[in-house]
Amino acid sequence: MVAFSNTKGGIVYIGFEDSRIVKGVQLGKETTIQWVNEVKNKTVPAIIPDIQLLEIEGKQVVSMHAMEYPVKPVSFRNKYFKRIANSNHLMSTDEIANEHLKTINSSWDFYPDPNHNKDDISIEKVRLFINTIEQNTQCKVELSELNFLAKLEIVRNARLTFGGYLLFAKDYCTISDLQIGRFKSPTTIIDSISLNTDLFTEVNEIIAFIKKHLMVEYIITGDPQRAERYNYPLEAIREIVINMIVHRDYRDRSASIIKIFDDRIDFFNPGKLYGNLTIKDLLSDNYTSQTRNKLIAKAFKEAGLIERYGSGIKRILTICKAYGVKAPMFEEAAQGFKVTLFKVTDKVTDSVTDKVTDKLTTNQTQIIRLILTNRNITTMELSAKIQISQRKIKANLSKLKSLGLVKRIGPSKGGYWEVIPNAT
């Protein structure tokens, strides 16, 4: 009964065997009243089931209906259960806390932070936040910084909330740990940073680091400036980053981790999908969005970083489809949530390298890919990106030219490289 009350309600039938054969039940004058009292006295808050006597196949059975309880969670002997499929699941401490917060329409980030106060946040960062809101709304905020935070409940009863500390931390933030690295192999890291700062700054720092490690193709158009096309959709990256910052479970001591590989970017966040949401629900776009961190989400929406609650995944999928990349992969793993974003398929490069696989080294293949994304790339830039000396870059270019795979158009300075796709 408790498990049903902590989910969507349910009915317990008495008078059936496990095989669903009707056995019937013998009732005394006070039997059903005793059952109701038994449930009522051993549950907190008290459940009072609705009992009905039924006749099925000429035998008497009893149904006990437990409605979904409005104030969750309900306990039996100080233990909390919820119904999953056909079994009762003992709830974890985290699940108990989440159910209570959802019931009172609140979230963890709205609660006062016992370890930090208003001196631990940057008023300058608050002012930048207010300026952003003023620009988005075209309305002047007449309140002082702290009074404005109180209006948004970022400061409650003169106390800084967990969300307020995360949003505007002045110095080193102890609970926003994020690791990001560029990997050449699963165990080889060629560049990395660690972030422990406020959430708005983290978004910008993450995107700047990822962008530094992307390849870009310059497209000549009729406009005065060349158009840029990266090998990953930047808008999808931005959407994923904002979603992981807003929806992360900051009560988990694990760090968020981003790994940039040659062919994909992995985004991992502590905390599985919130509110009994499944991957299937997520991809169907047929679900009611529930936010783990309501205060943080509200602040990001006020700053114009979130358009609409619950639309992030749909936007990511739409952006990737329009960009011509493989749909991202979403999965729950290691008590967290992981998104894998794949790069643009380089069909031209593949058509070249597939014909001479046995002749090309990894460095030579990488040089071709870099030239395809930027035909004006210099040997110094190639050296920096591939992490080998300029002398080796020049030797590899000579080999590629001798194979008829690349050629130089124009002088060393002012010219450009060209890949020959029909080479054999």
Q: What is the pLDDT of residue 227?
A: 61
Decide: 332 and 349 in contact? Cβ < 8 Å: no
Amino acid at 200: F
Kindly give the pairing relationship between strand 329-333 and strand 406-409: unpaired
What pLDDT, on a 0 to 100 scale, did the predictor assign at position 357? 47
Domains and CATH numbers, the chain: 2-103 (3.30.950.30), 181-190+207-342 (3.30.565.60), 347-419 (1.10.10.10)
- Structure confidence at residue 309 (pLDDT): 59
CA distance between the termini of the chain: 72
**Closest Cα to residue 254, out of 327, 198, 337, 331?**
337
| 8 A C-beta contact, residue 409 and residue 416 | yes
Q: What is the pLDDT of residue 170?
A: 94
Q: What is the pLDDT of residues 107-120, one digit of tens each?
A: 889 988 988 999 99
Write down the pTM of the prediction.
0.64
Query: Sheet of 10-14: strands edge to edge?
Result: 10-14, 59-66, 50-56
Cα 265 to chain center, whole Å?
13
Which regions of the chain are under pLDDT 50?
Answer: 220-221, 348-349, 353, 357, 424
**Chain length of the chain:** 424
CA distance 236 to 188: 26
Secondary structure in 3-state letters for the chain: CHHHHCCCCEEEEECECCCCCECCCCCCCCHHHHHHHHHHHCEECCCCCEEEEEEECCEEEEEEEECCCCCCCCEECCEEEEEECCEEEECCHHHHHHHHHHHCCCCHHHCECCCCCHHHECHHHHHHHHHHHHHHHCCCCCCCHHHHHHHCCCEECCEEEHHHHHHHECCCCCCCCEEEEEEEECCEEEEEEEECCCHHHHHHHHHHHHHHCCCEEEECCCCCCCEEEECCCHHHHHHHHHHHHHHCCCCCCCCEEEEECCCEEEEEEECCCCCCCCHHHHHHCCCCCCCCCHHHHHHHHHCCCCCCCCCHHHHHHHHHHHHCCCCCEEEEECCEEEEEEECCCCHHHHHHHHHHCCCCCHHHHHHHHHHHHCCCCCHHHHHHHHCCCHHHHHHHHHHHHHCCCEEEECCCCCCEEEECCCCC
Burial of 315 (0-12, 13-18, 19+ CB in 10 A): middle
pLDDT score, position 266: 96
Is 293:363 a contact under the CB 8 Å cutoff? no
Place of tokens 């991957």: 279
pLDDT tens-digit profile of 329-344?
Answer: 999 888 899 999 998 7
pLDDT at 424 (0 to 100): 43
Question: How many C-beta atoms surround the C-beta of residue 91 within 10 A?
Answer: 21
pLDDT of residue 114: 86
